[in-house]
């Protein structure tokens, strides 16, 4: 059975004001479930399988927002296979683009990607590095607000060159097994993370990924 992921952007001050790790987890867990448990709390909920944002209803309004990746990205397997596809094609990508995607994907891949240990100093983002603290138990991502600006800077570099990844993906990705067998799905997943990081950056919030 696979793992699904709930991704939230969070007012870090509000979250950290909870007196214990257990209470913080309970807050986040309840927030992640609220979109499923209370449809009335999400009047803009759509049956679309595309990515979309949800705000909570009172009294919790204001401290978190939930991102639904849609059909592609709600399962951890999609994120895992995106990392696999990237590893297959990265040697065929221009160095500056490769460096930006490496540094953007690595902290979002929960434990790091194996090839990142060999990364060189390449391109304009060579001095941009993001190291996240270990995620608490039952969390897949723990990204405090201070890490978000660097991730957003990396996303700007990735977004500008995303189309350049299509040719190496379609030529070199081994799409005969697993998931992420289509470039548009791969790009959509990256754009989803770009959306999450951009929204968190605007608010000075952090990002949390919960195992669900």
SS3 18: coil
Q: Are residues 31 and 80 in the same domain?
A: no
- At 41, the pLDDT band (50, 70, 90 cuts) reads very low
Q: At which of 25, 47, 68 does a domain end?
A: 68
More confident residue, 91 or 119: 91
- Domain assignment of residue 82, yes or no: yes
Q: Are residues 117 and 195 in the same domain?
A: yes
User: Which residue range forms the structural domain that includes residue 129?
Assistant: 76-138+146-202
Q: At which of 68, 87, 116 does a domain end?
A: 68
Q: pLDDT by residue (tens digit) across 11-38?
A: 999 999 999 989 999 999 888 887 654 4
Q: Are residues 184 and 105 in the same domain?
A: yes
Based on the structure, what is the number of domains in the chain? 2
Rounded to whole angstroms, the Cα distance separating 81 from 2 reads: 13
Q: Are residues 94 and 53 in the same domain?
A: no
Q: Are residues 179 and 151 in the same domain?
A: yes
Q: pLDDT by residue (tens digit) across 189-204?
A: 999 999 999 999 999 9
Q: Are residues 12 and 111 in the same domain?
A: no
Q: Are residues 120 and 183 in the same domain?
A: yes
Q: Are residues 186 and 89 in the same domain?
A: yes
> What pLDDT does residue 42 have?
41
Q: Which residues contact 132 (CB under 8 A, 6 or more apart)?
A: 107, 141, 142, 143, 144, 147
Q: Strand ranges (DSSP E) for the chain?
A: 5-10, 52-54, 64-68, 139-143, 206-211
Q: Are residues 120 and 178 in the same domain?
A: yes
Q: Are residues 17 and 40 in the same domain?
A: yes
- Domain assignment of residue 108, yes or no: yes
| 106 contacts 130 by C-beta, under 8 angstroms | yes
Rg of the Cα atoms in the chain:
17
- Domain assignment of residue 192, yes or no: yes
Q: At which of 48, 68, 88 does a domain end?
A: 68
Identify any residues that bridge with 122 across adjacent strands, giving them in sequence order.
none
Rounded to whole angstroms, the Cα distance separating 80 from 106 reads: 11
- Examine the pLDDT at 179 and tell me if it is beyond 80: yes
- Asked, as a colleague might, if the bond just before 59 is cis with ω within 30 of 0, I would say yes
Q: Which residues contact 1 (CB under 8 A, 6 or more apart)?
A: none
Mean of pLDDT over the chain: 84
> What pLDDT does residue 123 have?
61
Q: Are residues 102 and 187 in the same domain?
A: yes
Rounded to whole angstroms, the Cα distance separating 144 from 150 reads: 11
> What pLDDT does residue 46 have?
46
Average pLDDT score over residue span 107-120: 63
Q: Which residues contact 25 (CB under 8 A, 6 or more apart)?
A: 136, 138, 139
CA atoms within 13 A on the CB side of 150: 19
Q: Are residues 23 and 41 in the same domain?
A: yes
């Amino acid at each position: 059975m696979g793992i699904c992921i709930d991704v939230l952007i969070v007012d870090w001050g509000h979250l950290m004001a909870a007196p214990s790790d257990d209470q913080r987890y309970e807050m986040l867990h309840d927030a992640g479930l609220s979109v499923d448990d209370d449809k009335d709390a999400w009047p803009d909920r759509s049956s679309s399988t595309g990515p979309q944002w949800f705000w909570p209803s009172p009294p919790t309004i204001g401290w978190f927002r939930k991102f639904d990746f849609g059909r592609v990205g709600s399962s951890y397997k999609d994120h895992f296979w995106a990392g696999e596809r990237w590893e297959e094609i990265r040697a065929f990508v221009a160095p500056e683009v490769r460096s930006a995607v490496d540094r953007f994907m690595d902290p979002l891949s929960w434990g790091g990607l194996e090839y990142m240990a060999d990364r060189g100093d390449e391109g304009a983002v060579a001095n941009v590095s993001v190291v996240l603290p270990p995620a608490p138990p039952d969390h897949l991502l723990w990204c405090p607000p201070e890490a978000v600006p660097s991730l957003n800077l990396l996303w700007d570099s990735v977004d500008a060159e995303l189309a350049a990844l299509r040719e190496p993906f379609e030529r070199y990705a081994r799409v005969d097994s697993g998931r992420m067998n289509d470039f548009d799905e791969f790009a959509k997943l990256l754009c989803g993370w770009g959306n999450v990081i951009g929204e968190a950056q605007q608010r000075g919030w952090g990002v949390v990924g919960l195992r669900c």
